[in-house]
A and B are shown apart, each in its own frame.
Chain A
Amino acid sequence: MSLDIKLLKKESLEQWFGKISASGRRILAPVERGGKVLFEEVSSPAEMAGDYIQTTLSAKSAVFPRCEELFGYALEGKEVKLEERKKEPQPTVVFGCRPCDAASFAILNSVFSWDCPDELFKQRLDKTAVVSISCKKSDQYCFCASVGGGPGDTKGSDVLLTELGSGDYLAEVITDKGKKLVALAPELFGAAPAEDKAKNLAKVPKEFDLKALSEKLGRLFDNNEFWLEQSLGCLGCGACAFACPACVCFDLQDEGNKKGGRRLRCWDSCGFALFTLHASGHNPRPAQSQRWRQRVMHKFGYLPDRLNYLGCVGCGRCSRLCPADMNLLEHLKEIMNRD
């Protein structure tokens, strides 16, 4: 994949959006809604949120919807007929997410594609293009640099835009998908200026070393007091898991009536008490401290061990929105401070 670097003027965004929409693609972009910044369908860049470091919820619903039909079923007496999803997913451009978000799609894919590939997910992923915008600002919750990312990292983006001092964008066209998007309006993409991308990026410090973290985690499993102390404030909701671009745990639910219905896949969270509850009443993780431990161990231990992907991109969403101010970066630093 050769890297094309172009200049996209700020005022050209409107036209580009127009050409993208006209091609039958929907555009999901950050929109200010009720005090939060959420990804919604837009037709113009004017609808986009102005100044945002990060959106409240991630864009993962583009490829992993909150509620998705797996198949339908019709009941006819003692017979059952299964019906496949008829509508193909609409081609989508996720516009204005950050480099951390762009990197998260590969993490979702690692789970859905390993062993038996999930075609429903793959269809959506194949039809989704990612146009990220580099970070000029970061806050104390960001730690992308500690998990293999960075404010201008290109990993996972089809096109990465970096806002320059002039307000125009440096456009790095990274993949074939990105090239196709640019080809919708090639006249809008001019020669790249000589400006250094790096000076337009936020400075995100590296807060910990992943290998050292993994090593310390390995020795912490049985330290119940440690996990209790960290999780006493945790209320056991699913906000962190649902906001997280890399969280992929799901539930299967049937909904229907005497005539038929559908089997649905929906988001779930290991933080819920019910997640591992057996019908017998036995629960392998009955205490919130064990569920908190599972969250950390899974993201920073089990998943990388198993599928070679870290389960976290350092976007900081979980910490920003936690009602009890559970700050993941702080918790990880606490782990690092132990022997």
Chain B
Amino acid sequence: MENIYKPYLMRIEKVTEEAPGVLTFKLVFVDENEGRQFEFKAGQFGLYSVFGEGESTFCIASSPTRKGFIECTFRQIGRVTSALARCEEGDTIGFRGPYGNVFPIEDWKGKNLLFIAGGIALPPLRCVIWNALDTRENFKDVTIIYGARAVADLVYKRELEEWGKRPDLKLITTVDPGGETPDWKGQVGFVPTVLEKAAPASENTIALVCGPPIMIKLTLPVLAKLGFTPENIFSTLENRMKCGIGKCGRCNVGKLFVCKDGPVFTLAQLNSMPPEY
């Protein structure tokens, strides 16, 4: 009998501390066959569990172009994430997924991609970024604007360094005023301000925005000013989840489930949804 609540067993291969309280896990499937067969698309998420504590929802932060493992990044904040933070390399955790809808990357061939992220919200976009970079020839200009409150809060620091060195993408990193360190070489300013200054072209461009609600609230008007239409702005929603498959009834925003109709939504969709998230 197929049990949709039974998770894959995953071994933690690597734990990376991205920022204070923020960890990335590299997970491999305990059953190698499952690992070989596992497929997902950018945007999808999973429920990661510590047996005995419960499950928590994070996006799959690694790219679907890389097989045999998945990565997730999370902040320690509640019961399950605290239990995850206590795990060590070699421990076994559970993973259910991939769930949710996807970023329609195939539709974006030949377009420019603009990624705007803040703080802990880079992980959902990191999946798309690597997916795009692994198929770089499909896209024209790739721009990443990423900011955090302080230098220590920036996640994926090694990758930011890597991305900064690549000639085929433009990376702008920034920290909030007061968050810079003496040797900080990036910009200083809030993400919406930095975005306005950078003024990327909106023509033939898809914008992906992920960040804390306040950042999104202030970024959207800037994007509108730059000429982006709601259909071309993509974001992800997060809501409390338990089943992840549209049954437990708690992640709904109006008649849409974040776990089934999301987590990827265009701004046009968000504008038509009730403000219950």
Contacts and interface: CB of A to CB of B under 8 A. Distances in A.
A284 B239 contact: yes
Contact of B3 (A71, A221, A249, A298): A71
A268 B249 CA distance: 9
A164 B117 CA distance: 70
Nearest to B90: A78
A120 B239 contact: no
B246 A252 contact: no
Q: Which has the most chain B C-beta neighbours within 10 Å: A117, A248, A279, A280?
A: A279
A98 interface: no
Given A78-B92, A116-B4, A284-B239, A270 B9 contact: no
B250 A249 contact: yes
B276 A284 contact: yes
Contacts of A251: 242, 248
Nearest to B255: A302
Nearest to A263: B5
A42 B29 CA distance: 48
Nearest to B89: A78
Contact of B1 (A84, A221, A297): A84
A79 B51 CA distance: 11
B6 interface: yes
A301 interface: yes
B54 interface: yes
A115 B255 contact: no
A91 interface: no
A285 B276 contact: yes
Contacts of B67: none
A306 interface: yes
B52 A261 contact: yes
Interface in A229-279: 248-257, 260-261, 263, 265, 268, 270, 275-279
A297 B252 CA distance: 11
Nearest to A256: B52
Interface in B1-30: 1-7, 9, 11
Contacts of B248: 249-252, 268
A111 interface: yes
Given A118-B4, A248-B249, A80 B274 contact: no
Interface residues of B, number: 44
B173 interface: no
A118 B4 CA distance: 7
Contacts of B274: 221
Nearest to B78: A279
B247 interface: yes
Interface in A168-221: 221
B250 A71 contact: no
B39 interface: no
B247 A80 contact: no
B1 A298 contact: no
Contacts of B53: 254
B243 A279 contact: no
Contacts of A112: 247
Interface string B52-81: 111110000000000000000000011101
B9 A277 contact: no
B260 A115 contact: yes
Contacts of A119: 1-4
Given A117-B4, A252-B55, 4 more contacts: A71-B3, A249-B248, A279-B77, A284-B253
16 contacts: A82-B6, A84-B6, A116-B245, A119-B1, A119-B4, A123-B1, A253-B54, A255-B52, A265-B5, A275-B240, A275-B250, A276-B250, A290-B276, A301-B255, A302-B254, A305-B255
- 3 nearest A-B pairs in the assembled complex, by CB-CB distance: A279-B78, A249-B249, A302-B255
Interface of B: 1-7, 9, 11, 49, 51-56, 77-79, 81, 90-92, 94, 238-240, 242-243, 245-255, 260, 274, 276-277
Interface of A: 70-71, 73, 75, 78-80, 82, 84, 111-112, 114-120, 123, 221, 248-257, 260-261, 263, 265, 268, 270, 275-280, 284-285, 290, 294, 297-298, 301-302, 305-306
